[in-house]
Structures are given as C-alpha cells and as structure tokens.
C-alpha cells in the first residue's frame, strides 16, 4: 500500500494506449490510492467511460458542462474543485494534440481547463506515432512543459500500434505506477531531505512555533474577510524545521494542505484565535523560536452578525472594523522572547522591498525579517525572498518554497548560536 490515502486524477486523451490506463487505474487502487478519471472526447473513442467508471468506482467526467449524475462537486465547478481534492494529475495517454493544448494554456476540454487551474503536480505520459513525437512542434511543446515544471514520463521505444517501430510508446502501467510512487509514495519526502543533508539536527530538540496561512474574520454566518495566502511557505518551513530536529507546532489558518510528518498542527480561523493559540503554545512548549509566516488579517468586524445579512438591508455599510492583535509584536515583547522571525509580503519591486525592510524590522523589534513580493508568491510553489537582519540584507535566488525554507532555517540556526 505505497499510495495509501493518495488521490489522483487520471486524464485519458485520444490514443490506443488508453487500454493500458485501465490496468494502471486498477493497480493504483491496489496501492491504496483513489482515482478520479477524466476523459477528453477523443479519449472516449478508444475506451468507454463506463469501463473506467467500473474500474475506479467513480463516475467519469468528460466535459465541463455536465457532471456525471449524483457526483457533482459542491459548487458545480469541476474544473476547479476536482484538482483541489487531488494530490496530482497524470495524463495517460497524453496525445500530441493534448500536449500542444497544455503547452499553450488552452482550455478546449474539462481536462485541459483543470490542468490550467491546478495547483498540484502535473505528470504526463506521452503516447503517439514516432514521427509525431519527433516532430519539432511536439518537441518544442515538451520543452515548454518541462520548463513549466511538468514531469514527462517516457515515452519508450518499440513496436507501435501503427505498425512502425520507434519512440512514442506510452510507458507500461507498472512503470507509470513506479513514477507515481516515486513522486507521492512514502519515500518521496525522504528523497527531498537527501538533497539537504546539512539541515539534519541543526535545531535538535528546539521548540519552534510557526504560524501559516490566512485568517478568516467572519462578518455573518456565511461571509467573512480573508486573503490569498495558501500557507505553502509556512508549511514548508514547518516541514524543514522538523527535519532539522526541532519540535514543531504549526498554527494554521484555513488552508488546504496536508500536515507535514512529525509536527503538531493546530487549526484556527480568526486572528484572535491564532493569537490565543500562539501565546498558549509559546508558554507551554517554552518556544525558542517563533516564525510568523501567517498573513494575519489586520482588521475584523467588531461583531459577527448572528443571521445572514440580507442584501436588501444594506447593512454591510455599517460594519465597524477593529484592529486585530499583532501576534508577532506580542511574542517579541515577551520577556524573555523567543527568536522572532517575521514575514513582510509587500507589493512593488525588489528595490522597494530592500528599502523598506530595515525600518520595518526595527519597528517589529525582530532579529530577522523576511521580505517577499506578496502578490506574486501567494499560492505558488516557488518564491523569492530577502533576508534582513542586523548585518543587512541578503537576496536569495528564486527557488521552491521547501528549498528556501531550508536556507532560512540554516540562517535561523546561526542566529540561535550567536550570543544575544
């Protein structure tokens, strides 16, 4: 059961290799995964939706306008909702035409739209005639997808359905399964950790409290104010801190992220709840390090209306806003205070950021303030950050959030070892 609790979207596009995908769907379930099959119209000409429905135990989606009966996602937007529930998307087979659509961000089918609207990893298993594969247009498209971060699995070489011999055969179900296990199986985290061997033990047994994600400030039972923070940076830091040997408590606002291994997670909604949870944790765990990554709402409605505010009442105009507690400042004021690290998500250029970070660090009274261009980083897997401490400013090159988290913790570990 190497893929227990994993959920995949398997996209089937037009190609005879679709018959192999039936076997893959079976095997994925044998490994404990659940599978949602989505087919393009051309895919459905090779293997019927009914076959995949029987194999996956779920109705198959084929187009953006009709949901399979009894299975529609909550808000009737399958191109958004389906990928939010999944760990990854594998397109198998990926036809030359579908690859061209992906490379150009086209949205001709539900499957293509879903790939464009996703936040999760995309893997494709090309399958086509050898000349279509070798064609410069296909190769250009493959290069584009690769540089966009899509994993290209295969193709392999051999006999083709058209009678020719050459590159373009879709990988076998067992090989595709192995790729999914490599990407999403129990060892996938360990492999990433192997890229950062120097982090092991650098925060051994230190208690670290981290906030992540947005907060949600309710206006009435159905409405509220929040922001676009995904929580990915905070979760990456929590994951890296656990690898560094720390005892990590992660206090998360409303996010859709899995809890990294080996950490304690506390979910909250509002800034006040986050404030309370942070203060309790700092006290209870005798925290040595506090990293405030959360995008805490600065304001909240003074009162939450008990019933849904009627559109006709016009009373949204009457909401009185009160300022939320500054959690980072409150922790930094403690005596003794943990090493406090703040994040500043700003708009503007890197030069603007460089100019404002030192004063903000002074104002926040924290030894280390991390700056990034907020609107660009929200929701992405990569980011560019600037470290501002008493020695000045260091700009790190753009990188994956987990990689940045490792650099950041290395920096924090040096601060911790410096006499204060």
The residues of the shown chain that bind ligand C5P, judged by CB under 6 A, are 211, 271, 292, 294, 296, 298, 324-328, 342-344
Handedness of CA 389, 394, 398, 403 (dihedral sign): negative
- What are the angstrom distances between the C-alpha of 126 and each of 6, 36, 44, 123? 23, 19, 17, 10
Q: Which two tokens stand for residue 239?
A: 């994951």
- Read off φ and ψ for residue 123, nearest 5 degrees: -125, 140
Q: Rounded distance, CA 353 to CA 344, Å?
A: 9
Closest CA to 86 of 112, 121, 116: 121
Active site residue 162: yes
**Least spacing, CB of residue 216 vs ligand C5P, in Å:** 14
Q: Which residue has the tokens 């979760």?
A: 235
Is residue 239 within 8 Å of 203, Cβ to Cβ? no
- Read off φ and ψ for residue 332, nearest 5 degrees: -65, -25
DSSP 235-264: HHHHHHHHHTT-EEEEEE-S---PPPTT-E
**Least spacing, CB of residue 352 vs ligand C5P, in Å:** 14
Cβ closest to ligand C5P, residue 11 vs residue 234: 234
Query: Crossing angle of helices 136-147/96-103, nearest 10°?
Result: 50
Catalytic annotation, pick one of 162, 281, 340, 388: 162
Cβ closest to ligand C5P, residue 202 vs residue 345: 345
**Least spacing, CB of residue 341 vs ligand C5P, in Å:** 8
Cβ closest to ligand C5P, residue 79 vs residue 232: 232
Cβ closest to ligand C5P, residue 174 vs residue 322: 322
Q: Rounded distance, CA 90 to CA 151, Å?
A: 9
Q: Which two tokens stand for residue 346?
A: 């700003």
Tally of residues, the chain:
420
DSSP 337-389: PPEEEEEEEE-S-HHHHHHHHHHHHHHHT-SEEEEEEHHHHTT-SEE--EEEE
Q: Which residue has the tokens 């990293």?
A: 291
Closest CA to 236 of 379, 401, 372, 380: 401
Q: Rounded distance, CA 343 to CA 369, Å?
A: 6
**Least spacing, CB of residue 269 vs ligand C5P, in Å:** 14
Cβ closest to ligand C5P, residue 88 vs residue 292: 292
Cβ closest to ligand C5P, residue 173 vs residue 292: 292
Cβ closest to ligand C5P, residue 28 vs residue 327: 327
Cβ closest to ligand C5P, residue 37 vs residue 212: 212
**Least spacing, CB of residue 209 vs ligand C5P, in Å:** 11
**Least spacing, CB of residue 263 vs ligand C5P, in Å:** 18
Is residue 118 within 8 Å of 134, Cβ to Cβ? no
Cβ closest to ligand C5P, residue 17 vs residue 296: 296
> How crowded is residue 1: how many other Cβ atoms within 10 Å of its Cβ?
11
**Least spacing, CB of residue 346 vs ligand C5P, in Å:** 7
**Least spacing, CB of residue 76 vs ligand C5P, in Å:** 35
Check residue 288 and report its DSSP letter.
Answer: S
Q: Rounded distance, CA 173 to CA 25, Å?
A: 9
**Least spacing, CB of residue 343 vs ligand C5P, in Å:** 4
Q: Which residues carry out catalysis?
A: 162
């Amino acid at each position: 059961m190497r893929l227990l609790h994993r959920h995949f979207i398997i996209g089937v596009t037009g190609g005879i290799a679709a018959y192999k995908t039936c076997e893959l769907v079976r095997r994925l379930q044998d490994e404990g995964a659940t599978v949602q099959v989505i087919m393009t119209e051309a895919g459905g000409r090779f293997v019927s939706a009914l076959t995949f429905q029987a194999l996956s135990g779920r109705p198959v989606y084929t187009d953006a306008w009709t949901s399979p009966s009894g299975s529609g996602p909550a808000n009737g937007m399958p191109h958004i909702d389906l990928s939010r529930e999944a760990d990854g998307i594998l397109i198998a087979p990926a036809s030359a035409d579908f690859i061209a659509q992906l490379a150009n961000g086209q949205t001709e089918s539900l499957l293509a739209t879903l790939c464009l609207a996703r936040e999760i990893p995309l893997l494709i298993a090309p399958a086509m005639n050898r000349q279509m594969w070798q064609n410069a247009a296909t190769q250009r498209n493959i290069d584009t997808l690769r540089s966009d971060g899509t994993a290209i699995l295969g193709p392999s070489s051999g006999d083709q359905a058209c009678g020719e011999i050459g590159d373009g055969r879709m990988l076998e179900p067992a090989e595709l399964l192995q790729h999914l296990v490599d990407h999403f199986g129990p060892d996938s985290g360990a492999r990433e950790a192997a890229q950062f061997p120097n982090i092991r033990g650098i925060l051994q047994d230190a208690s670290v409290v981290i906030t992540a994600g947005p907060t949600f400030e309710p206006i009435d039972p159905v409405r509220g104010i929040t922001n676009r923070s995904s929580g990915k940076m905070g979760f990456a830091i929590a994951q890296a801190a656990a690898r560094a040997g720390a005892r990590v408590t992660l206090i998360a606002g409303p996010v859709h992220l899995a809890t990294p291994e080996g950490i304690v997670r506390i979910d909250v909604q509002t800034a006040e709840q986050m404030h309370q949870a942070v203060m309790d944790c700092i006290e209870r765990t005798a925290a040595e390090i506090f990293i405030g990554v959360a995008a805490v709402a600065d304001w909240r409605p003074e009162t939450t209306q008990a019933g849904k505010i009627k559109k006709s009442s016009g009373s949204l105009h009457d909401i009185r806003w009160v300022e939320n507690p500054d959690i980072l400042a409150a922790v930094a004021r403690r005596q003794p205070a943990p090493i406090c690290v703040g994040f500043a998500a700003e708009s503007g250029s890197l030069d603007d950021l460089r100019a404002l970070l030192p004063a903000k660090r002074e104002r926040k009274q924290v030894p280390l303030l991390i700056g990034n261009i907020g609107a660009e980083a929200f929701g992405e897997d990569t980011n560019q950050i600037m470290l501002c401490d008493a020695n000045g400013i260091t700009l790190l090159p753009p990188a994956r959030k987990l990689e940045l988290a490792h650099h950041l913790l290395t920096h924090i570990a040096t601060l911790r070892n410096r006499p204060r």
